[in-house]
């Protein structure tokens, strides 16, 4: 029997489901204060919704969903399900699309410009961009500031799911 979870707890579970499963993803991506994030993850683990990758070293800060955790999350829509198959969310797609546009317009692709073009806050963008780099959709360069570029894989996925951007933008 599952107790009622708070919005913050559900957001953590959703973040893990979408592959953003480090503690820093909850802090930067969800805007939770670090201590609050620690408190919530401990509570969720003790209740059996999530489990840590280990209890020493950096494994302590990586999380996975359990059957119970997955069970309380709302089902993905068919559109989200398709994106999830490629490890993406709608937000990732918006960011990829914004970067592609900036690239075509030959504008600088740094945090402020991508944030403005995609509508994702700069703090949250850190998590999204790090994730997209991790799964190979973006590459990073820049001696001082971080500049990103869309990779062949990123372009392929963007083209594949482009139709979904229009629908999400309309809504």
Q: Which residues bind another protein (CB under 8 A)?
A: 16-19, 21-28, 31, 33-35, 37-38, 42, 45-46, 48, 51-62, 64-68, 70, 76, 81, 84-85, 87, 111-112, 122-123, 126, 130, 133, 140, 142-146
Q: What minimum distance in Å lies between the beta carbon of 41 and another protein?
A: 10
Q: Which is nearer to another protein, 37 or 96 (CB)?
A: 37
Q: What minimum distance in Å lies between the beta carbon of 1 and another protein?
A: 15
Q: Which residues make beta-bridge pairs with 70?
A: none
Q: Which is nearer to another protein, 123 or 151 (CB)?
A: 123
Q: Which is nearer to another protein, 39 or 169 (CB)?
A: 39
Q: Which is nearer to another protein, 34 or 169 (CB)?
A: 34
Q: What minimum distance in Å lies between the beta carbon of 111 and another protein?
A: 6
Q: What minimum distance in Å lies between the beta carbon of 107 and another protein?
A: 16
- For 22-43, b/e burial (b = at least 16 CB within 10 A) is bbebbbbbbebeeeebeebbee
Q: Which is nearer to another protein, 136 or 142 (CB)?
A: 142
Rounded to the nearest angstrom, the gap between the alpha carbon of residue 16 and the centroid of all alpha carbons in its chain is 9
Task: Tell me the DSSP string of 69-130.
Answer: HHHHSPPPPHHHHHHHHTT--HHHHHHHHHHHHHHHTT---SHHHHHHHH---HHHHHHHHH
For residues 153 and 44, give the distance between their C-alpha atoms in angstroms, rounded to a whole number: 35
């Amino acid at each position: 029997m599952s107790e009622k979870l708070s919005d913050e707890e559900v957001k953590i579970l959703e973040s893990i489901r979408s592959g953003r499963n480090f503690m820093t993803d909850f802090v930067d991506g969800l805007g939770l204060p670090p201590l609050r994030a620690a408190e919530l993850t401990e509570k969720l683990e003790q209740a059996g919704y999530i489990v840590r990758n280990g209890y020493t070293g950096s494994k302590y800060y990586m999380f996975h969903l359990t059957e119970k955790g997955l069970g309380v999350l709302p089902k993905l829509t068919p559109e989200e399900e398709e994106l999830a198959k490629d490890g993406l969310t709608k937000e990732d797609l918006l960011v990829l699309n914004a970067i592609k546009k900036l690239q075509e317009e030959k504008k600088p692709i740094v945090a402020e410009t991508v944030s403005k073009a995609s509508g994702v806050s700069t703090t949250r963008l850190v998590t999204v961009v790090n994730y997209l780099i991790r799964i190979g959709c973006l590459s990073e360069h820049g001696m001082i500031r971080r500049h990103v570029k869309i990779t062949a894989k990123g372009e392929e996925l963007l083209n594949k799911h482009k139709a979904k951007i229009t629908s999400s933008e309309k809504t």
